Amino acid sequence: MQVEVWSDVVCPWCYIGKRKLETALSTFAHADQVEVVWRSFQLDPSVPEGHTDKTLPSLAAKYGRSVEEMRGQLAHVEGIAAEVGLEYHLADSVSGNTLLAHQLIHLAAEHGLGGAMKERLLHAYFEEQRSVFDVDSLVPLAVEVGLAEPEVRPALTDRRYLSAVREDIDTARALGATGVPFFVIDRTYGAAGAQPAEVLLQLLERAWADSHPLLTVPAAEGCEDGTCAV
């Protein structure tokens, strides 16, 4: 079974959704047969590459709220993140274009490290307040998960994974995704948003049942229609 997750590395709900998926998988009987694939999605591709803004005033201006109102909203999300074991510092973060970060995840996936790279980027951004927006910031994080700097730096510089990122984004649109996280199981079942772990577990179980029909053996003696013949 394949679970594809479209998300962005600066989306607070995406990290929360990742933790909820992990909780669902921890109680799913067939988790060892599930492949999780991290797909690219950009919340705001219009941000110029190389440009960063402080998140708090930027969001306040974008949504027409005061800085204090937005600070309260961010604090609410921080509280929800804490419920799944994450320590956010959203008001202290900066925002930027995530195109390079998504390319890095594609490179890591080729080495079987896509999940590890995704986790490292999310943790770096949300819990360490580190930049994930330029090559010099991304290379050390890639090395931490086991990638080699002589491969990473040229790959990000020449943008060899850009087309893969674009394809992910186009596929998400084709599947009807308008936001993230967006979970898709075997290209048949979908769920949008940071769904409760229980909902994701139910989706996994339904998808598994549908793809693995009940195995039957020749009938033996038994009861039918509420009656038994003896």
Q: How many domains does the chain have?
A: 1
Q: Is residue 42 part of a domain?
A: yes
Q: What is the pLDDT of residues 136-152, one digit of tens each?
A: 999 999 999 999 999 99
* CATH code for position 148: 3.40.30.10
pLDDT band for 223, please (50, 70, 90 cuts): very low
Q: Is residue 100 part of a domain?
A: yes
Q: Is residue 228 part of a domain?
A: no
User: Between β-strands 35-40 and 2-7, what pairing exists: parallel, antiparallel or unpaired?
Assistant: parallel
Higher pLDDT: 211 or 195? It is: 195
| Average model confidence (pLDDT) across the chain | 92
d(CA 86, CA 26) in angstroms, rounded, equals: 18
| Residue whose tokens read 């998400």 | 172
**Rg (the chain; Cα; Å):** 21
Q: Is residue 121 part of a domain?
A: yes
Averaged pLDDT for residues 19-35: 98
Contact by Cβ (8 Å): 38, 105: yes
Which domain covers residue 166, as residue numbers? 2-211
The answer, yes or no, to whether residue 214 has pLDDT greater than 70, is: no
Q: Is residue 216 part of a domain?
A: no
Which pLDDT score is estimated for 218?
54
Averaged pLDDT for residues 18-46: 97
Q: Is residue 222 part of a domain?
A: no
Q: Which percentage of the chain shows pLDDT scores above 90?
A: 89
Which pLDDT score is estimated for 23?
98
Averaged pLDDT for residues 67-96: 96
The answer, yes or no, to whether residue 131 has pLDDT greater than 80, is: yes
The answer, yes or no, to whether residue 44 has pLDDT greater than 60, is: yes
Which pLDDT score is estimated for 50?
87
Q: Is residue 225 part of a domain?
A: no
Helix locations, 64-180, DSSP H? 67-83, 99-110, 114-128, 135-144, 149-158, 162-174
Which pLDDT score is estimated for 219?
42
The answer, yes or no, to whether residue 66 has pLDDT greater than 50, is: yes
The answer, yes or no, to whether residue 211 has pLDDT greater than 90, is: no
Q: What is the pLDDT of residues 157-186, one digit of tens each?
A: 999 999 999 999 999 999 999 889 999 999
Q: Is residue 22 part of a domain?
A: yes
